[in-house]
Structures are given as C-alpha cells and as structure tokens.
C-alpha cells in the first residue's frame, strides 16, 4: 500500500509553486480561487516575496497548503491507500482524500492561521527542537519546569520539539542539555504551537470547523492526535479541533501506518524532503517501509 504524506509549517520556501503556476491551467485557477478566498495575492508572495514575508503565519499556512494540494492535483495520478499530514499538513491530506473541498480546506486553513496568530500575540512563546534524547527524558524535564512547556512534535527517534512560554522553554533547554541532549535549538516560529497556549485558537477554529461539511474519505487518514486511522467524518472533525493543543504524534503515526501495511510513502509539497528524513529514521526501526 502507498501512502501520501503532507508537510506542515516550516516547509515553505520562496518560489514554491511557481513551476506549477507556469505549466498548469488548473494551478492558475486554484491560485485565483485562493486570492479571492484569502483577500490578497498569495501567489505573488510565494513566488516573489521575502523569506520574512513568507514566514508570517497568515501567509505560511495557506502557502504550504496550496502548494501541497496543487502538487497533488497536478502531478499525482494514482489514488493513495492512506494519507497523513504533519500538523498543518493534515488539512492538505483531508482535501486529497475527499473529506474537504479545496475551497473549504483553504477557508479552514485561513481560520486556523488567523486564530493561531491571535493566540501568539496574547502570550510571548516559542518552540525548540531537542536532538539526541529519549522521549521520556524530555517529558520528565519539561514536567519539572515551573511554567508551561510541553512536548509538541514527536517527530522521529531522537528528535522531539517542545513548546511553551519563552522563559520555560529556555529553562527546559538548559536542563535537557545538562541531561545529555546533543542540541536544543530554539525555532523561528510565531509562538507555542501544539501547547495549552493555543486554547483560544482551538476555540475559534472549532467555530469555523462546525460550519463546514465533512465528507466520507476515499481512504483512511492517520491523524496527529492519536496516530490512528480514521474514516468517520465526525471523528476526523473532532480530532482536527483537538490538534491545536495536542502534540503531533508523527513517530507513532508512521509506525502505525507501517504496521497496517503501508510499504511506501510519497511526500507531496514543500521541498519533498522535510518528512523523508523523519520517515527514514522511523522506518529503520521496522526495516520495512520505503520512500
């Protein structure tokens, strides 16, 4: 079985999607639709903007979504046996497997980006990538910090991203280095994604999601919050809401997909390499899956 996987925020790059726009009538139509839905010319920022402009949450999330979905529509012929997306990438996956229309998917991504930006503005916060420690050690040290700092992305063996207020993340990073982490790298992000600080954003996103009709999928989606396959629209909807304050269980997701018979993963969107390294490290533990 072949699975399609979709990257999230931080997979953006200046010029993304320009080749699709140049070569495909469908891509040009999608970008025109996106301009109307978003209220600004996103293709101009994606193709000609600066890295700083592209890093703004209100731009990054729709840009990554657009690139992934249009890549799938223009370049991919075969239907997948399963899909999954890393954080924001879950919305791309839900369009490709038919749960959401292109228009509804983009509307929800816009609502998600806007609500997350508001939540970030309420509390200075950040994230940090921890390399070279077992998950349980990272979890323990985060729990010992007085403020709010939590595991946010369980990416692959030896790589876990933490999220919280700036002081607590700094304190946790010092403790993790002392505990033997090879690196603790503060990320250039707008705030503490997948943490309790995203609760206001989750509340706003739920209102937007409740207004959208979710269809039956063409194939299962493995969702971030529980790393399990789902086909029931109401469960998919609930998990999508929970995602904003829950950790991304990417390692467990890939392990479950391999266990369920996925033999090959195709990454769609971004540079095509963001998730590949993670999957290779995870699949080495099972010695089965390929890219």
Tens digits of residue pLDDT in 42-100: 999 999 888 888 888 888 999 999 999 999 999 887 889 999 999 999 999 999 999 99
Q: Is it the case that residue 290 has pLDDT exceeding 60?
A: no
Mean pLDDT of 117-128: 91
**Which CATH superfamily does the domain covering 124-186 fall into?**
Malonyl-CoA ACP transacylase, ACP-binding (3.30.70.250)
3-class secondary structure, 34: helix
CB contact at 8 A, 80 and 97: yes
Q: What is the pLDDT of residue 9?
A: 84
Cα separation, 108 vs 204, in Å, equals: 11
pLDDT at 155: 96
Give the burial class of 31: count Cβ atoms within 10 A of its Cβ; 0-12 exposed, 13-18 middle, 19 or more buried: buried
Give the per-residue pLDDT at 253.
Answer: 97
The whole-number pLDDT of residue 10 equals: 80
| Least confident stretch, 74-78, 116-120, 207-211, 279-283 | 74-78
Residue (of 21, 6, 83) closest to 260 by Cα position: 83
Confidence of residue 286 (pLDDT cuts 50, 70, 90): low
Q: Which of 168, 194, 246, 283 is catalytic?
A: 194
* 194 included as an active-site residue: yes
Counting residues of the chain whose pLDDT is more than 90, the rounded percentage is 81
Beta strands in 33-186 (DSSP E): 82-85, 125-131, 149-156, 159-165, 183-186
Return the CATH superfamily for domain 2-121+195-286.
Malonyl-Coenzyme A Acyl Carrier Protein, domain 2 (3.40.366.10)
pLDDT-wise least confident of 6-10, 54-58, 265-269: 54-58
Q: Is 289's pLDDT higher than 80?
A: no
> What pLDDT score was predicted for residue 270?
84
Identify the pLDDT of residue 287.
59
Residues of the chain with CATH 3.40.366.10: 2-121+195-286
Dist CA 167 CA 176 (whole Å): 14
Share of the chain above pLDDT 70, in %: 98
Mean pLDDT of 157-179: 95
**Which is nearest to 172 in space by CA: 180, 184, 182?**
184
**Average pLDDT, integer, range 261-280:** 90
- Residue among 9, 106, 111 nearest 61 (CA): 9
192 touches 125 (CB < 8 A): yes
Q: Is this model's pTM higher than 0.85 or not? A: yes
**pLDDT digit string, tens, across residues 236-251:** 999 999 999 999 999 9
Q: Which residue has the higher pLDDT, 211 or 75?
A: 211
Region label for 186, one of left (φ > 0), alpha (ψ between -120 and 50) or beta (otherwise): beta
Point out which residues pair with 186 in neighbouring strands.
Answer: 128
pLDDT higher than threshold 80 for residue 288: no
Which residues of the chain are in CATH 3.30.70.250 domains?
A: 124-186
Mean pLDDT of 196-225: 96
CA atoms of 164 and 230, how far apart (whole Å): 29
Residue position matching structure tokens 């529509």: 73
Higher pLDDT, 26 or 11: 26
Band of pLDDT at residue 258, cut at 50, 70 and 90: very high
pLDDT given at position 184: 95
Beta strand 229-230 with 159-165 is unpaired
CB-based contact 177:201 (threshold 8 Å): no
Is 87 in the active site? yes
Out of 43, 87, 125, 163, pick the active-site residue. Answer: 87
Mean pLDDT rounded to a whole number for the chain: 93
């Amino acid at each position: 079985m072949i699975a399609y996987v979709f990257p999230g925020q931080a997979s953006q790059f200046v010029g993304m999607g320009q080749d699709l726009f140049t070569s495909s009538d469908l891509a040009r139509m999608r970008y025109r639709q996106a301009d109307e839905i978003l209220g600004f010319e996103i293709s101009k920022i994606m193709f000609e903007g600066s890295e700083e402009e592209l890093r703004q949450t209100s731009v990054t999330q729709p840009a990554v979504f657009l690139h992934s979905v249009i890549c799938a529509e223009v370049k991919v012929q075969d239907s997948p046996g399963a899909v999954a997306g890393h954080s924001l990438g879950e919305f791309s996956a839900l369009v490709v497997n038919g749960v959401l229309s292109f228009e509804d998917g983009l509307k929800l991504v816009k609502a998600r980006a806007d609500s997350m930006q508001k939540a970030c503005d309420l509390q200075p916060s950040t994230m940090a990538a921890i390399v070279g420690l077992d998950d349980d050690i990272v979890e323990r040290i985060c729990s010992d910090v007085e403020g709010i700092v939590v595991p946010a992305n369980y990416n692959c063996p030896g790589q876990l991203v933490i999220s919280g207020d700036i002081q607590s993340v700094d304190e946790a990073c010092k403790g993790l280095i002392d505990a033997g982490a090879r690196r603790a790298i503060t990320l250039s992000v707008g705030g503490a994604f997948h943490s309790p600080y995203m609760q206001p954003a989750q509340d706003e996103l739920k209102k937007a999601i409740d207004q959208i009709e979710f269809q039956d999928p063409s194939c299962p989606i493995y969702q971030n919050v529980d790393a399990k396959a789902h086909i029931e629209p109401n469960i998919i909807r609930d998990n999508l809401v929970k995602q904003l304050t829950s950790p991304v269980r990417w390692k467990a997701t890939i392990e479950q997909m391999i266990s369920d018979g996925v033999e090959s993963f195709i990454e769609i969107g971004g540079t095509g390499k963001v998730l590949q390294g993670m999957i290779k490290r995870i699949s080495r533990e099972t010695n089965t899956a390929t890219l």
